[in-house]
Chains A and B, each alone.
Chain A
Amino acid sequence: MNSRTIQPPGPSRTRARAIAAAGARDLIGDRVYRLGADILVDENVSWCPPGIRTTQPVNCYVIKGFGGSVLVDTGVRLHETEILAQLDAVLEPGERLAVVLTRTEMECCLNLPAIEARFDVESVWYTGGITVPRTTAEPRRIMVNPGTSQLVEVIDGIKLEFVSPLMRLLPTLWIFDPVSGALLTSDAFTHGSYRRTPDGLGASDGLCKFRWFSEADTRGIAADVESVVRERQVTAIGPGYGEPFIGVAQCATESAALAAAIREVGVQ
């Protein structure tokens, strides 16, 4: 049986309206929702490319299952109110939730206490050496070697692939949902809100955080970015900040463009 035919029951029309009203957007049908809100990206934001001043969404994602859902990252504290309201709309009352943090950095984990206080969070999955601000949820630390991945049943009925990318600063996971084809890429593929052209030019604008690439041999990193997308049927790329990319062709184009930008900036 094709795993793509397994879908959770869709939301009722009333619920769909509530979801839209709260500002949550569907990334892929009623399987993956994008939560969060916009920020102003300017010189007060460390990942802002030179000369840019624009709005940009900061995203976290809900992957819906039958018996519970998975929240990937928790958004910035500035958006706490919006994210709680969006979760209210997307989740069934009393629905169990597992949280996956792509990084233990500030834009990923700081709404965890508020979410734990309001929803039934059974576990928090994360990588890296430091602890996260959780209270009662079970901590599930997972170590994945950079350049490899692991398939994990995060909550009953939802198996996600935890990809450890070579493109990173601190320990990082990209999360792939084999059912929908969504690849959630944390602090990579963040160039979607900047100057874009149809052929993916502008990908280098998403590299500001990775200044170390200019001192490094980046060929392996670029190849890894390309192969992660090529080896999976990626139907959408959902970054932690920036507009997502939708469609198999677009995802392939963007990964080739990002890989090219990474190669170009490095030393070899």
Chain B
Amino acid sequence: MEDLVETMSTDLPREVAPGVTWMSSCLPFHLADRVIHGHNSTYLVQGDHSSILVDTGNPSSWPIISRTLDELLQGEQLTYVFPSHPELPHTGNLPRLVEKYPEVQVVGDIRDYHLFYPQIVPNLHARVPGDSIDLGGKEFVVVEALIRDLPNTQWGFVREAGVLFTADGFCYMHRPELDDEDPVHLPGECGLTTGELSVPIAVENAAFFTGSALYWARFANDADAVYDRVLHLIDELGVTSVAPTHGNFISNIRDVEPIIRAGHKRAYRYETAQS
């Protein structure tokens, strides 16, 4: 199971919207009684003259991420990295990225990073919601995170591609159980968009992620308020697809949103063995 972290589905990396490449090493997520399989995605957005990496992947996935960046950037330097929030699966490769690309600018809500990674302080550049970063023919806009765990979380949006990057928002487990005998990434699963999956996402898989990663959803009966705000944002920005860190790339957001919303509702008062 641990070798999951060194591998990427053979379907990936793939371009999921113009200039937006999805890479993901699936990670084992350990529960009290079993291990499940979930995405830990990283997205590269490339414009005419600059590029931005959205989330860094988990430290254990560095070799595959580094190799994939070499292929995608073809000798160019990475210009920006946008860590959505300071947790290892989202931020853990920042020191290695700065070592590999010494000029890279780390942009976003960079509070606390000077305590965690003193060696990257010169690369840190604070950005607030509404700020935009020019990539050449494409802009990456920082957006307030409407669904989050840590307070210093941000989302991002690339208008020209219609893609909203939502960190821990819109996440779900793509396969609830994995037997030891199963191949780690089933063909036609890890690297497919939600529009391509043969079966729609199960509400249970969304509830599961929400109840464990977004623990507050167990106490706050606010799913409708939260997702109404998200839908408003989707309309306002003109979002056509959603790129979560832990879940398949969502190409049919209007179909998927009600499932995630229902999962969030089910997470309220959710009490199970998993913490």
A residues sitting closer than 8 Å to B (CB atoms) are 39, 43-47, 58, 76-78, 104-107, 109-110, 127-133, 141, 143-146, 164, 168-171, 208-209, 211-212, 215-218, 220-221
Contacts and interface: CB of A to CB of B under 8 A. Distances in A.
A221 B88 contact: no
Interface residues of B, number: 40
Given A106-B112, A129-B213, A169-B215, 13 more contacts: A46-B109, A106-B116, A110-B116, A128-B275, A132-B88, A133-B88, A146-B215, A168-B215, A170-B87, A212-B219, A215-B222, A216-B220, A218-B219
A171 B273 CA distance: 12
18 contacts: A44-B114, A45-B111, A46-B109, A46-B111, A78-B116, A78-B118, A106-B86, A127-B275, A129-B31, A131-B27, A141-B30, A145-B273, A146-B275, A169-B216, A171-B275, A211-B151, A212-B219, A216-B219
B214 to A, nearest CB: 9
Given A106-B86, A143-B273, A212-B216, A170 B115 contact: no
Q: Most B CB atoms within 10 A — which of A133, A146, A169, A209?
A: A169
A130 B212 CA distance: 12
Q: Which of A107, A131, A209 lies at the interface centre, i.e. has the most chain B CB atoms within 10 A of its CB?
A: A131
Contacts of B111: 43-46
Contacts of B27: 130-131
Contacts of A164: 275
B149 interface: yes
A110 B115 CA distance: 10
B194 interface: no
B5 to A, nearest CB: 8
A208 to B, nearest CB: 7
Contacts of B92: 133
Contacts of B149: 169-170
B58 interface: yes
Interface in B199-234: 212-213, 215-216, 219-222
B163 to A, nearest CB: 25
A204 to B, nearest CB: 15
Contacts of B115: 39, 45, 58, 76-78, 106-107
6 closest Cβ pairs, A-B complex: A212-B216, A216-B219, A129-B29, A143-B32, A46-B152, A216-B220
B101 interface: no
Contacts of A141: 30
Contacts of A44: 111-112, 114
A212 B220 contact: yes
A142 to B, nearest CB: 9
B29 A130 contact: yes
Contacts of A46: 109, 111-112, 150-152
Contacts of A130: 27, 29, 58, 87-89
Contacts of B275: 127-128, 143-146, 164, 171
Nearest to B86: A106
B59 interface: yes
Contacts of A168: 215
A110 B275 CA distance: 22
A265 to B, nearest CB: 12
A129 B30 contact: yes
A76 B116 contact: yes
A217 B220 CA distance: 7
B40 to A, nearest CB: 9
